[in-house]
Amino acid sequence: MNIARVIVDVPASSTNQTFDYVIPEKFQEMLTVGMRVIVPFGPRKIMGFVVERVSESSFNKLKGIIDVLDFTPVLTEELLELGKWVANETLSLSITALQAMLPQVLKSTYEKELVRMTEEQLPEVFEHLFAGRGFIPFKEFEASSISYYQLQKLIEAGDISIDYLVKSRITKKHVSMVKPTKDMHLLEEALLDLSKNAKKQKLLLQFFIEHENPIEQQELLKKVGTTTSTVKALVDRGLLATFQQEVMRDPYENREFERTTPLVLTKQQREAIIPINEAIEADKHDVFLIHGVTGSGKTEIYLQAIQEVLNKGQEAIVLVPEISLTPQMVNRFKGRFGSEVAVMHSALSAGEKYDEWRKVQRKEVKVVVGARSAVFAPFENLGIIIIDEEHETTYKQEDQPRYHARDVAIHRGQTNSCPVILGSATPALESYARATKGVYRLATLSERTNQMDMPKVDIIDMRKELHAGNRTMFSRDLMEKMEQCLEKGEQIVLMLNRRGYSTFIMCRDCGHVKECPHCDIALTYHKNSNQMKCHYCSYEEPVPVVCPECESDLIRYFGTGTQRVEEALTKLLPEAEVIRMDVDTTRRKGSHEKLLKQFAEKKADILLGTQMIAKGLDFENVTLVGVLTADSMLHLPDFRSSEKTFQLLTQVSGRAGRHELPGTVIVQTYTPEHYSIELASEYDFQSFYKREMSMRKAFQYPPYYFLALVTVSHENQVKAVQTTQQIVQVLSQHVGNTTVLLGPTPSPIPRIKDRYRYQCMIKYRNEPDLRTYLNKIKTIFADDVRKNDLLITVDMQPYHMM
């Protein structure tokens, strides 16, 4: 078994296979599957994952592994298998699937260097370039005006060589430690030898005579009340030594978590948890869907089920949508399970993420609470996977590998024979349909634990407001209720559903909208820099003074951004303090949390924000929730827009009156008669489900049909259309007659970065070999892709049609 099969870090279809390498003697014993290695690949050195150890290879001249990067495998055998499955399922490359399971810092970066091999005089230009150094970054050569040919000659002559470096992004955090170097009695002797003036040094020695263990320098200095120079003096005398020790970053280290104990469950909660506990006991895989209204105590069920799993000595993964991974959520898990919990979300620095991941790898924790990618946590004795807010679209990764965390979770649940819990107040139609069919087991929690009714929802027809002469973005009802709220000292949450809207620039005279010259999309206005930016290609230009079309100076920015609402609010309710939460105010790390804390401490009356405020927040003093534009995403070209609207409205309504104070919700809309708005206001999931299902059936959408989306992009529009047409043709020869092929159709954004984008949508009910056909297409066009800069992407079960 002295040969390793390696998946190399070269994301290309032609290298999407294992490569065999000889394992040098010194690595024979320690190298196991799942470790990262550095291997020669052509003239380069690259990183790769060992996926198998074998004793024979069909390949003749094997090269050897250069280095092994890990002492503990970064991928367990289960995860290697899972990687294969993900790659196959999502039609992505093996290396991409494997990389997706690891924290970013474990990715390798590559650099080239020029190494001087001779002391003899090099040509003038090279002497100048090296400037006395033994090696230089290759980039410096590229930046110089020296020709490649000249370099080639020197390389051939052996005067210069190229070195390929594989670097790691890992940054381990270290602290300075201090320890005594001599025995106790020697320290005591030294103490007597010190001069009378060296008071601080004496104190330090005294300290180590009492505590002989190494101590963090910072802590030592504080305890003894001295500075590094004193420590240094003793180090110079050979009595003490300083060294660096690695520490784990703990993003929550300075936080106290109030320990909580299990709550008494309601009847409905008990009924829901019994079958889950049975599955845990029996090591049986099953998918449970908990459909529970907001405030029905889903989280308590999760906590108690996890406790059951921990009691068995097993581990738990909890997935939460990024956006609701709020301090409140983290508190609940940290409060119950303390240091057994690792938290993984995007607000952590790369280093912190790595450390949290290592806590799992080193078995220092038993529970992971995290966003999508936490589904790959390297536990080896998994007892349960929980997906909260399972309907959230953030569980679908939008770049390669385009996996859905729910599917991965269920697959891991099968291999680990453990239960998977999906929880939501508004389950995804797909999930609910499976639950009704008995594929998943359904538990319904219809009562809130505090017995309070859901807040009353008033729908306001904004067309009538307009007719009545109200041209502001606040209806008369909302204004009145806000004023009442402020008088009583209660708080307000205002949500602006910005999806589908953005601040763009439009000419009031001719209606001209400023678009990106490289993408078919309106440029967005950025107030702070006074620039127009493209969100797709980061093209930028200053805001025009006059309309480029008609030269009118009536060119303004448009759209209802949170900034504009804030401005309007301060005009209409000057006494109200407003906290604005959107991408602009929450970009900085921790600012999200800070703003929420301020609001919780009642430092503001109104919390104004985008969707990000709809989830997971729980403020006792909030009695009014206003949705400014409920229908803004209803008209998007997305078959899930009704579902998303229903979910969002239900979610945001749950923010009001969660405690003693009764709550009101005001929903402003231009389409009050739309069923998703009407039924959300009545909290009628069942009717919505039936209604939406019949729509999906009629229009052949999930859950009745599966989808696959093939997108083709090319600089040349004709080429893009033609290729898509060819793809449709090839597919039509293979697929069954119940399968629908749509296309070529332009993508919702038909051009990005000067590339035209066309797509083909496949709607199917039963196509067991579809992946084979799609792979075949990839092979057919592989040449075209490489030679003609064609791009073909496949998205199985797409969530965004772009």
Partner DNA sequence: AGCACGCCGACT
Partner DNA sequence: GTCGGCGTGCTC
- String marking each residue 99-128 x if it binds DNA according to CB under 7 A: -----------x-x----------------
Q: Which is nearer to DNA, 21 or 688 (CB)?
A: 21
Q: Does the protein bind DNA through residue 140 (CB under 7 A)?
A: no
Instruction: State in angstroms the smallest separation of the CB of 113 from DNA.
Output: 11
Question: Which span sits near DNA by CB under 7 A: 10-18, 82-90, 380-388, 559-567?
Answer: 10-18
- Rounded distance between C-alpha atoms, residue 443 and residue 277, angstroms: 13
- Rounded distance between C-alpha atoms, residue 344 and residue 390, angstroms: 17
Paired tokens of 507: 């000419």
Q: Is the peptide bond before 137 cis (omega within 30 degrees of 0)?
A: no
Q: Does the protein bind DNA through residue 354 (CB under 7 A)?
A: no
Instruction: State in angstroms the smallest separation of the CB of 729 from DNA.
Output: 24
- Rounded distance between C-alpha atoms, residue 1 and residue 622, angstroms: 65
- Rounded distance between C-alpha atoms, residue 409 and residue 431, angstroms: 14
Question: Which span sits near DNA by CB under 7 A: 16-24, 119-127, 352-360, 634-642?
Answer: 16-24
User: Collapsing DSSP states into helix, strand and coil, what is residue 404?
Assistant: strand
Instruction: State in angstroms the smallest separation of the CB of 45 from DNA.
Output: 10
Tell me the sheet residues that pair with 668.
460
Paired tokens of 20: 């065999």
Instruction: State in angstroms the smallest separation of the CB of 432 from DNA.
Output: 40
Q: Are 710 and 760 in contact (CB under 8 A)?
A: yes
Q: Does the protein bind DNA through residue 15 (CB under 7 A)?
A: yes
Instruction: State in angstroms the smallest separation of the CB of 21 from DNA.
Output: 5
Question: Which span sits near DNA by CB under 7 A: 53-61, 77-85, 223-231, 731-739?
Answer: 53-61
b/e map of 518-537 (b: 16 or more CB within 10 Å)? bbbbbbbbeeeeeebbbebb
Q: Does the protein bind DNA through residue 40 (CB under 7 A)?
A: yes
Q: Does the protein bind DNA through residue 184 (CB under 7 A)?
A: no
Contact residue for DNA among 29, 43, 121, 487 (CB under 7 A): 43
For 748, counting Cβ atoms within 10 Å of its Cβ (0-12 exposed, 13-18 middle, 19+ buried), the class is: middle
Select from 589, 517, 529, 524 the least CA-distant residue to 561.
Answer: 524
Q: How far is residue 380 from each of residues 404, 541, 776, measured CA to CA in Å? A: 21, 52, 36
Instruction: State in angstroms the smallest separation of the CB of 111 from DNA.
Output: 9
Paired tokens of 159: 């005067």
The DSSP secondary-structure symbol of 785 reads H
Count of CB atoms situated within 10 Å of the CB of 217: 16
Contact residue for DNA among 42, 225, 542, 768 (CB under 7 A): 42
Q: Does the protein bind DNA through residue 249 (CB under 7 A)?
A: no
Question: Which span sits near DNA by CB under 7 A: 148-156, 192-200, 304-312, 407-415?
Answer: 148-156
Q: Does the protein bind DNA through residue 158 (CB under 7 A)?
A: no
Instruction: State in angstroms the smallest separation of the CB of 53 from DNA.
Output: 14
# chain residues binding DNA, by CB under 7 A:
28
Q: Which is nearer to DNA, 145 or 213 (CB)?
A: 145
Contact residue for DNA among 23, 31, 37, 39 (CB under 7 A): 39
Contact residue for DNA among 27, 130, 141, 164 (CB under 7 A): 164
Contact residue for DNA among 1, 12, 282, 439 (CB under 7 A): 12
Site for DNA in 773-792 (CB under 7 A): 787
Q: Which is nearer to DNA, 39 or 482 (CB)?
A: 39
- Rounded distance between C-alpha atoms, residue 48 and residue 782, angstroms: 23
Q: Which residues are annotated as a binding site?
A: 507, 510, 516, 519, 534, 537, 547, 550
Contact residue for DNA among 124, 149, 267, 438 (CB under 7 A): 149
Count of CB atoms situated within 10 Å of the CB of 193: 9
Question: Which span sits near DNA by CB under 7 A: 4-12, 286-294, 380-388, 621-629?
Answer: 4-12
- Rounded distance between C-alpha atoms, residue 503 and residue 522, angstroms: 9
Q: What is the 3-state secondary structure (H, E, C) of 580-602?
A: EECCCCCCCCCHHHHHHHHHHCC
Contact residue for DNA among 27, 41, 432, 773 (CB under 7 A): 41
For 33, counting Cβ atoms within 10 Å of its Cβ (0-12 exposed, 13-18 middle, 19+ buried), the class is: middle
Instruction: State in angstroms the smallest separation of the CB of 63 from DNA.
Output: 4
**Which residues have CB under 8 Å from 541's CB, separation 6+?**
523, 531, 532
Instruction: State in angstroms the smallest separation of the CB of 384 from DNA.
Output: 39
User: Collapsing DSSP states into helix, strand and coil, what is residue 224?
Assistant: helix
- Rounded distance between C-alpha atoms, residue 519 and residue 749, angstroms: 8
| Amino acid sitting at position 151 | L
Paired tokens of 712: 């083709």
b/e map of 706-732 (b: 16 or more CB within 10 Å)? bbbbbbbbbeeeebbbebbebbbebbe
- String marking each residue 659-698 x if it binds DNA according to CB under 7 A: ----------------------------------------
Instruction: State in angstroms the smallest separation of the CB of 68 from DNA.
Output: 15
Question: Which span sits near DNA by CB under 7 A: 147-155, 223-231, 361-369, 685-693?
Answer: 147-155
Paired tokens of 707: 């989808």
Q: Which is nearer to DNA, 150 or 552 (CB)?
A: 150
Contact residue for DNA among 2, 7, 19, 97 (CB under 7 A): 19
Question: Which span sits near DNA by CB under 7 A: 12-20, 318-326, 487-495, 708-716?
Answer: 12-20
Instruction: State in angstroms the smallest separation of the CB of 789 from DNA.
Output: 9
- Rounded distance between C-alpha atoms, residue 372 and residue 203, angstroms: 52
Q: Does the protein bind DNA through residue 147 (CB under 7 A)?
A: yes
Contact residue for DNA among 72, 104, 150, 346 (CB under 7 A): 150
- Rounded distance between C-alpha atoms, residue 440 and residue 781, angstroms: 40
Q: Which is nearer to DNA, 65 or 709 (CB)?
A: 65
Q: Which residues are annotated as a binding site for Zn(2+)?
A: 507, 510, 516, 519, 534, 537, 547, 550
The DSSP secondary-structure symbol of 338 reads G
b/e map of 551-587 (b: 16 or more CB within 10 Å)? eeeebebbbbbbbbbbeebeeebeebebbbbbeebbe
- String marking each residue 738-777 x if it binds DNA according to CB under 7 A: ----------------------------------------
Instruction: State in angstroms the smallest separation of the CB of 571 from DNA.
Output: 52
- String marking each residue 54-83 x if it binds DNA according to CB under 7 A: ---x-x-xxx--------------------
Paired tokens of 523: 């440029």
Select from 323, 466, 425 the least CA-distant residue to 649.
Answer: 425
User: Collapsing DSSP states into helix, strand and coil, what is residue 26?
Assistant: helix
Instruction: State in angstroms the smallest separation of the CB of 101 from DNA.
Output: 20
Q: Are strands 622-627 and 664-669 parallel, antiparallel or unpaired?
A: parallel
H-run or E-run covering 510: none
Count of CB atoms situated within 10 Å of the CB of 589: 14
Question: Which span sits near DNA by CB under 7 A: 9-17, 468-476, 477-485, 536-544?
Answer: 9-17
Q: Which is nearer to DNA, 146 or 728 (CB)?
A: 146
Which positions lie near DNA, rule CB under 7 A?
Answer: 10-12, 14-15, 19-21, 39-44, 57, 59, 61-63, 110, 112, 147-150, 162, 164, 787
